[in-house]
Chains A and B, each alone.
Chain A
Amino acid sequence: MLRTEGLTRHFRVGKLLSRQTLHAVDDVDLTIGSGEIVALVGESGSGKSTIARLLALVYRPTRGEIWFEGRPLSRLRGRRSRLAYSAAVPMVFQDPYSSINPAYRISHAIVRGMKLHRGDLSGSGRGAELNRVLEEVGLVPASYTQRRFPYELSGGQRQRVGFAQALALRPKLIVADEPVSMLDVSIRIGVLNLMGELREREGVSFLYITHDVASARYLADRVLVMYAGHLVEEGATEDVLQRPKHPYTQLLVSAVPDPRAELGLADARDVGEPPKVVDPKPGCRFRPRCPFAVAECETVTPALRELSDGRRVACHVAE
């Protein structure tokens, strides 16, 4: 349904004379199918949120193309077609405390998007839709919730409002950027379950962006692992997390704390520093931290290649 090809976004940093280029996202090819939940994981600064913003048309790609339902976004012309795309691919944000206007009731937050994106609805049609989406995200009774102000709702409820806002646009793909990381731990799982239910009932796809590998495993069908702006591994969730092939994924998975595992200090010690993404040289960006690095890693940037089980890995050594 959505596909990117060589998606790249650079930012210029520094002053006039010391101009440098920050490679936030480099050559990312990803696909998201209909009704699929894809998790995008990686450390902070790896380019996850930049991808979300590229997909939501907040940034324009430096290079590369996004294809949505067979049409390239760079040829999207005019307000009408941009609005139609934004309605089909809405975003849910990380911070539910600042993403809803505190001065208006919840109904306003949801109806406003419908006025902009769904010209087909009459006033009463919007009212019915408002009730439907609030019930859909579990904010019942809808007639009560829609008259509340944001400050009257808890963090988890506000995040549900975020999903209701997205649903009201009849989306095909919801880009959820760290939707649970600001929520109390006791209610995170409820929001994750909500995303799973919405996929079942509404057939929406999700791009679930997170740094929490365990929650990605809980929710997603497929996992994409990012490191320093590159996609380094991609495959079915259980394959990637139980048998990681890329050395970075292996490090990431082994670092996840698990109370159900045996007690004892974690053995492997990670040495090394976060990657340099300002004016990077060619070669694998994980190389300085990689225990398996070979000479080739210094000079040639590994491309994603497919392994036997349909998994794609960007590594010269992995097999």
Chain B
Amino acid sequence: MQSAMNALNPVLTVAEQMRDACRAHSNMSRAEIEARSREVLRLVSIDPVHLHSYPHQLSGGMRQRAMIAMALLFTPDLVIMDEPTSALDVVAQRSLMVQIKELQERLGFAVIFVTHDMSLVSHFSDRLLVMYAGQVAEMSKTRELFDRPLHPYSHGLLEAFPSIRGPNARLAGIPGSPPDLANLPTGCRFAPRCPLVEPRCTAAEVPLYSVNGSLVRCVLRENGR
């Protein structure tokens, strides 16, 4: 399931789209499909009467939950969510996150949650993998990354978000802009924007170092600290 609220086919009802999915991936009978569709909609707290609704009759949050329901049709082991909340306002966003978390705990599937909003996942994810310019910059337990970011990019990202509580300090953000992926800098890809850059950063490609169970791609962490 993808980011946009437009991932559902606008001219088919929810039931028809679920039927398509079931026909493509299994050989359930009509009645089985119907029953399963009702069941998954109930799982995401949508009234099954909406089986016969068209996507435009649902709100943004409901559409997103209907997408999640479709993903649950076949009791998945892993659900990949690409920015599922980016089209929602914060209130709908939080209720969707709480619901995903509950489903995930109840049904025991794993989630890869793709997002640009670190504060959103801070309370919901177990581990955080920070990407920069096509590479893994850092992978840590979520709480550890927020408490002690190892990569300068993670650190900069945390500094780039204004907070709703606490002191309203002036933030610096990260200077420069993301690199051109067709024309990458040599060595560390973050080096041109890094405040801690050293000559050796640009000399050679930086490998991932292991630091107390976290992985980080930065020469400053080569001795495992």
Q: What is A's interface to B at a CB cutoff of 8 Å? A: 43-44, 154-157, 184-190, 192-193, 211, 213-215, 217-218, 238, 241-242, 251-253, 255-261, 263-266, 269-270, 273-274
Contacts and interface: CB of A to CB of B under 8 A. Distances in A.
B43 to A, nearest CB: 16
Given A43-B89, A252-B91, A257-B123, A156 B161 contact: no
A157 B176 CA distance: 10
B7 to A, nearest CB: 17
Contacts of A257: 90, 93-94, 117, 119-120, 122-123
Given A188-B160, A260-B166, A193 B173 contact: yes
Nearest to B177: A154
Interface string B200-216: 00000000000000000
A188 B143 CA distance: 24
Interface in B91-136: 91-95, 97-98, 101, 116-120, 122-123
B90 A241 contact: no
B92 A241 contact: no
Contacts, number: 120
Contacts of B59: 273-274
A105 B10 CA distance: 39
A242 B89 CA distance: 20
Given A43-B91, A154-B177, A263-B143, A214 B166 contact: no
B165 A258 contact: yes
B174 A187 contact: yes
A186 B161 CA distance: 9
B160 A213 contact: no
B168 interface: yes
30 contacts: A43-B92, A44-B88, A44-B89, A185-B160, A186-B174, A187-B173, A188-B173, A190-B173, A192-B162, A193-B170, A211-B89, A213-B164, A217-B162, A217-B168, A218-B168, A253-B164, A255-B93, A256-B90, A257-B122, A258-B122, A259-B118, A259-B122, A259-B146, A259-B158, A260-B146, A260-B166, A265-B98, A269-B98, A270-B92, A274-B59
B157 interface: yes
A260 B173 contact: no
B157 A186 contact: yes
Contacts of B119: 257-259
Nearest to A157: B177
Nearest first, the 5 closest Cβ-Cβ pairs linking A and B are A189-B173, A43-B89, A218-B162, A259-B122, A154-B177
A266 B160 CA distance: 23
Nearest to B95: A270
Given A265-B98, A270-B95, 4 more contacts: A184-B177, A217-B164, A257-B123, A274-B60
A256 B118 contact: no
Interface in B146-172: 146, 156-158, 160-166, 168, 170-172
Contacts of B166: 260
Contacts of B161: 185, 189, 214, 259
B195 interface: no
B178 interface: yes
B163 A260 contact: yes
Contact of A255 (B94, B143, B162): B94
A241 to B, nearest CB: 6
Contact of B173 (A186, A213, A273): A186
A192 B173 CA distance: 10
Contacts of B174: 186-187
Given A259-B119, A259-B122, A274-B59, A154 B90 contact: no
Nearest to B122: A259
